[in-house]
Structure 1
Amino acid sequence: MVFIDGFNLYYGLKQKYGRRYHWLDLEALATSLLKPWQTLTGVKYFTARVRNDAGSLQRQSTYLDALGAHCANLEIIDGRFQEKVRGCRQCGSTWTGYEEKETDVSIAIALLEHGVTDDFDTAVIISGDSDLCPAVRALKRVCPDKEVVVAFPPARWSHDLKLAVLAAFPIGVAKLRQAQLPVEVITDDGHTLKRPGRWV
């Protein structure tokens, strides 16, 4: 079972490659990370709906709808963005920003829940966030027979997370290139979802 930290992956892709690989087929990517004898039991994608930009929200919604239509084994788990007042200490001005919440906790809970209910033998975490280390250690204590592997997104790395798991490796560009959704995805009700023009 593959657990994907959506924003960690998104910002890693953006930092390393711009928007070129944002139209990513997460189920195909997850499958490409497995060993030949392994079977994918599910993909859990943890994200949150953006709130600060209408264009970004539309692109994200199109992408999530395309994933839902194209990836049969994918579950999208929504967190949230919380308003946060930010300020400048020098000039005293303030503004409202947004902070993504709940992703780390949601991944931790899902990892433990699916481990306890024996839904996987090996968990693959796509993230470079060391905040997930306690969840990995907890799974080892509760389910010592379960294995955890980390696949680091582009431009993301955590020494602590690497030490906490059985194995860790970076996701190479070839896997990203080969795991792109079709340019157009047709939904069950016949709608056509197209790759956003800015994602090139």
Structure 2
Amino acid sequence: MGTVAAYIDGFNLYYSMKNKYGRKYLWLDLVKLTGHLRPEDQVVQVRYFTTIVRGEPEAAANQIHYVDALRAHSGDVLDIQIGWFKRRTLSPCKLCGKHWQCECPRRPRSFEEKETDVALAVSMVEDAAVGIADLTLLVSADSDFAPAVAAVKRIRPTHPVILALPSGSLQPHKRFVDVGFFTINETALRQSQLPEQVYDPVGRKLRRRPEKWG
């Protein structure tokens, strides 16, 4: 048995689950999921990187509620780092060249996520440098993390890095070199749910799965 540290790209995981399964598995126990993905290893650290959505009050409230439930349930094994959104200027449509409110099949974003990707990459490299675990598990299909994986390999050439690709991604991007990989299946998500209600001692309340996440 070895040890594993996991680094979870919250938005990449969220959108992949939502696109494939709707809201069915969003009440996800991240520490339990890591254990399912690496059943032979001891989970020593799970770092979760996300940002609270902007412009959608109900979705933001559910997300904060979920983060509080995770913290209450998982203890010190789970480290949650929350970034922020920066307002961005919308450019003309790349498909038709017209104003961004055209009818082309795309989804313009008025806010962009800041800090979470950088924070994940830095944490992954730092942890590998000090050797907190025998293996690094990266839960993301985002090729922007390829340079961080390469840095881990330079620092510790024999250190294994494995990509747990969120649902819908079958192969890692070619920018990832010398990594193992697999796709997170529905069974792992189904068997890694938080209890229907979690007691939060900080807020002194029960955190229940949101109705829309049933």
- Which TM-score applies when normalising by structure 2? 0.86
Determine if the alignment matches structure 1 residue 192 to structure 2 residue 206.
yes
Q: Tell me: CA distance 1:27–1:162, structure 2 relative to 1, closer, same or farther (3 Å).
A: farther
* Deviations 1:34-68, CA, capped at 9 Å, x for gaps: 142x2111000000111211111100000000000
Q: Which residue of 2 aligns with 1:172?
A: 185
Q: Distance in 1 between matches of 2:99 and 2:118?
A: 36
Secondary structure of the residue aligned to 1:41 is strand
Secondary structure of the residue aligned to 1:109 is helix
Structure 1 unaligned residues grouped into runs of 5+: none
Question: In 1, are the aligned partners of 2:9 and 2:139 still within 8 Å (CA)?
Answer: yes
- Which TM-score applies when normalising by structure 1? 0.92
- Give the RMSD, CA atoms, in angstroms: 2.0
What pairs up with 1:16-165 in 2 under 5 angstroms?
A: 16-36=20-40, 38-72=41-75, 73-88=77-92, 89-91=97-99, 97-160=110-173, 163-165=176-178
Structure 2 unaligned residues grouped into runs of 5+: 103-107
1:78 Cα deviation after fit: 1.2
Q: Distance in 1 between matches of 2:149 and 2:31?
A: 22
Secondary structure of the residue aligned to 1:113 is helix
Give the letter for the 1:194 counterpart.
R
Secondary structure of the residue aligned to 1:66 is helix
Question: In 2, are the aligned partners of 1:9 and 1:127 still within 8 Å (CA)?
Answer: yes
1:163 Cα deviation after fit: 4.6
Q: Structure 1 residues 137-146 or 83-92, which shifts more?
A: 83-92
